[in-house]
Structure 1
């Protein structure tokens, strides 16, 4: 790519079922110039997240669909290259929403400054960003775990699930993960401190959950729905709470799959509640305060899965939906001067 050009990945077509490389288009355009009150950002890291699959559709949802023929949406960590904005200076690092491109223009309203002396700037896309914030509020605000209770989380080695289990341990709970490989399960238990982890691909979910949760399940942080939710419902305790964070098993479905038997929710008077992290923006400082302290104290561990090159974003995203990533998936788009 020429340094004088802006590399972009456009959403070419809405995927039918699983996304394909042909649903995206790689183009080069002239690097834009910031107008009055605007900032030109150079992308360093791009976040890839499961929610993006929901934006690649014109079906009614909680968010506006990504526009065809436009830069695919996504959170970014960038460095200010040019600024006509009084609150942002050249050289500063910012968290923004410039999408799948090497350079982006911002008016500054949604930018948040980052201090590379406190934490690695890429963390703002993960553990101190939207995924970490999701884990924090979904577990603590909806799950309301109490010491001694059992917390189960699916996609346990992912950006959200890994944090959920560690916070559950901080709160004195038994943490049980569900993941897609022995390697991921070993990491969740041996490195992150979960009490147990179930391989959803090789173990029978019902018997494995009974063994891992001998006292039943009090909180289940759900990222998948489908068969995992159905198995969990058979083990929930009286008054169980289920934050519904994601529906990974359904994202590529063209028609809604048959739902699980929800009768246990009635019998056990359990709570299942949908969760959107955007509802908690006003409490961002509370989240940052606690998570930063836990990171600095070594109570939270964090793993990144870094793919280099914007051109590899579509393939990496397709792999994300297939569970191929290990940790928070980000794309390194440009040089990171904080690591030199």
Structure 2
């Protein structure tokens, strides 16, 4: 990749943010974390109450990146084959020969929205595991490669628990980031009201191609990070484990800590955030900014924490306070 290629790619990042900003008002931290996941080559889980534009954000991102996009609405009766695809019997009218042909499902797209993923049973949720981790699916003993880049964004509603199936920890760990979406500010909400209740419909233009995304993902891995900062990330992740942690919060309330995948995710995300801001070196601020989204779904608290109303975000705050970064 030449210097001109790098300059060209980096110049497109502000344009991408501006294009998405035509539709999505505010929510800059959320947008940044979604773009971090995209550049780091991982997947993200978006959690927020209804009406916070989770689906709209993903659809707008698909338009601005010109990636093949599919939306899967998860329901209690959704089957794995509805996601992965199925085999159909075809007949050659000339020879009369019949054979099975794999018919790809909606997972075969570069950008996939798994909408309300916690509304479907574990059997169907598990159908995503291989796709998310390996970049291919297996049907009838045959592997079928997914298009590259492959980016899965899932959404879930945290307040309506009736008829839902919480994601198992093993599947949560497959998500690079767990992004929480809060309510907009008063000014942002006013801008939403005035901008979406008229006749104007903003048109989103594609800024990044699939090849651009692949090159940015490669460039992200080339961003520099000091050996000392990697050691600090390692200490932070190891401090999440109750058996060896020196952090009192984890000792008192921790049940299970993060595995090595969390450290890999935090290093990659720090690099991606640096690149989004036009830097070629990750800093402590990048690690601190992304630690909650990387760790909140990889720490399991005990019943004492639940009784006292404590969350994994409280655990991450204690870790950032007590572990030297």
How high is the TM-score relative to the length of structure 2? 0.23
Higher helix share: 2
Q: Greater relative contact order (Cα 8 A, min sep 6): structure 1 or 2?
A: 2
Higher strand share: 1
How high is the TM-score relative to the length of structure 1? 0.22
